[in-house]
Each structure stands twice: as structure tokens, then as C-alpha cells.
């Protein structure tokens, strides 16, 4: 609660389909998750609270679990507000939970790690139910080589090669806690990667580069050199946004 005694810290969890959305951050004249939520909050409360998000997603990227910290008036009817937010935001955005949070909770700063999944299909024909959430890359891929590359990506490395050259990032070292390709059915597979934090486009460029390895267009030794701070042009293409999903956010117990 703030010194005036009328604001309390809260935690909001949501899911969204990134198709047709221009990412998390609000942008004038464009449909975004943050912008849609601010309009809904303003309609219900008369003012939009500041939303601190655990992970800012790019245009077209989905979220299975996104976490936001915010301050709301003391005594707010949270179930009623949740229903109102879901009624006032686009169908592709769902507020799944809204609760009181510990004093000082910050969804971004307190996050211990973020987990993403990138979905890929090698099928010649892909189900229309998956087409908005999966990159279709038909043909044979050497999954063993891609798994070896994913294992190399685990640990602390310089990921300069996997983020745009024009960037606001200053430090490019990131600690990847785990990284592995997993097989699904009917030509489906996905990369699951967990890290303390990510660079912009980092997961999608890792995927694009690993697909080149799977096609025999790039060597594993060459991939390892990329993890030593090679420039962006040395890595592979950035995979399409539609295959990427913010899968989970991990917090220390009690946060």
C-alpha cells in the first residue's frame, strides 16, 4: 500500500494470441496488448494503472503465461474487474488471474527466468489449426544435429550474432539455463529454451540458424563460433514470429 493508503500492489496473469497484434508495448494507432489493456482499465476505473510486464513480446508472438505487476485502488472487486477486462479487450487476450501481490513485487525485476517454446512443422501440408502458431519448414531435418546445437547454446554465451545490429542492448551475454528440441507428432517439433533474460529476436534467430544446421547448410563447429560474439550477419535468418510463444515465467517462492 502506498503512503496515502489507497493503492495496493497486484499481480495479473494473462494469455494472448499474438496474431494481428503488434506486440506487447503500446503504439499509437496499432493494436497491442498493453494498449488494449490500458483502454479497458480506463473504461472501468477512469484511469489506466502503470503495467510492468515480465517479458515484452514482439509483433505476432504469443503468450501462454504473461505476468504483469500493477497498483490498484484498495478494495477493488478483483473478480468483477477481471470479467470487465475480458469483456473489453479483444478476443485474443485473456486475463486469467488477478490477485493481490506482496509489497514491492515487480513482475519484470523479480522474474528468475523466462521460458519460450518455438513450434516448427516439417510436414508438406500443415493443419489449419496450427498455421497461426507454427513455422512450416517442409523437408527432412537432422534433428540430432539440431539437438546438439541446442545443447551448445546452454550456458553463458555472447549472443551478439542472434539479435539485430540496430539495438538498444548494451550487454550481449545471456545465461541460458536449458535449451532442447523436442519432437511432437506428425512432423511437429519445438525448441524449449529457458534463460534469465533474452535479447530481442534471440530465440527466433537461434531457431533460424538451427534449421540451417538441420538442413546441412551450417556446421556445428560454425554454430559454436557464433556463440563467441560473432556479428549478426554471420548467423542464420530470423524465424517467423508466429511460431514463438512465451511459455512460462518463473519466480522465487513467495513472489
* Residues recognised as catalytic: 58
Among 193, 196, 199, residue whose Cα is nearest residue 171: 199
Contact 232, 160 (CB under 8 A): yes
Cell numbers 472487486 correspond to: 77
Distance of alpha carbon 120 from its chain centroid, rounded? 16
Q: Is 144 helix (H, G, I), strand (E, B) or coil?
A: helix
The residues pairing with 69 across neighbouring beta strands, listed in sequence order, are 11, 52
Residue 220: CB atoms within 10 Å: 13
Residue 11: CB atoms within 10 Å: 19
Among 46, 11, 17, 9, residue whose Cα is nearest residue 33: 17
Contact 153, 234 (CB under 8 A): no
Cell numbers 519484470 correspond to: 108
Residues, the chain, total?
Answer: 255
Contact 197, 177 (CB under 8 A): no
Residue 152 to residue 248: CA distance in whole angstroms: 22
Residue 52 to residue 74: CA distance in whole angstroms: 19
The residues pairing with 27 across neighbouring beta strands, listed in sequence order, are 30
Amino acid at each position: 500500500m502506498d503512503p496515502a493508503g489507497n493503492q495496493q500492489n497486484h499481480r495479473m496473469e494473462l494469455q494472448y494470441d499474438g496474431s494481428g497484434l503488434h506486440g506487447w508495448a503500446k503504439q499509437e494507432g496499432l493494436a497491442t496488448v498493453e494498449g488494449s489493456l490500458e483502454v479497458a482499465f480506463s473504461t472501468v476505473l477512469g484511469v489506466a494503472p502503470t503495467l510492468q510486464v515480465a517479458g515484452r513480446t514482439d509483433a505476432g508472438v504469443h503468450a501462454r503465461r504473461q505476468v504483469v505487476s500493477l497498483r490498484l485502488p484498495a478494495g477493488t472487486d478483483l473478480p468483477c474487474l477481471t470479467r470487465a477486462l475480458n469483456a473489453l479487450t479483444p478476443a485474443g487476450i485473456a486475463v486469467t488471474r488477478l490477485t493481490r501481490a506482496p509489497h514491492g513485487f515487480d513482475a519484470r525485476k523479480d522474474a528468475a527466468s523466462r521460458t519460450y517454446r518455438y513450434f516448427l512443422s516439417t510436414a508438406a501440408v500443415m493443419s489449419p489449426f496450427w498455421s497461426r502458431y507454427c513455422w512450416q519448414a517442409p523437408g527432412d531435418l537432422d534433428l540430432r544435429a539440431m539437438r546438439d546445437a541446442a545443447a551448445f547454446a546452454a550456458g553463458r554465451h555472447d549472443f551478439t550474432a542472434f539479435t539485430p545490429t540496430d539495438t538498444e542492448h548494451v550487454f550481449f551475454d545471456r545465461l541460458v539455463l536449458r535449451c532442447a528440441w523436442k519432437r511432437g507428432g506428425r512432423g511437429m517439433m519445438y525448441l524449449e529454451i529457458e534463460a534469465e533474460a533474452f535479447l530481442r529476436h534471440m530465440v527466433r534467430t537461434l531457431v533460424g540458424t538451427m534449421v540451417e544446421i538441420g538442413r546441412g547448410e551450417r556446421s556445428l563447429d560454425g554454430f559454436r563460433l557464433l556463440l563467441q560474439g560473432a556479428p549478426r550477419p554471420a548467423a542464420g535468418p530470423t524465424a517467423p514470429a508466429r511460431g514463438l510463444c512465451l511459455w512460462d515465467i518463473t519466480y522465487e517462492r513467495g513472489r
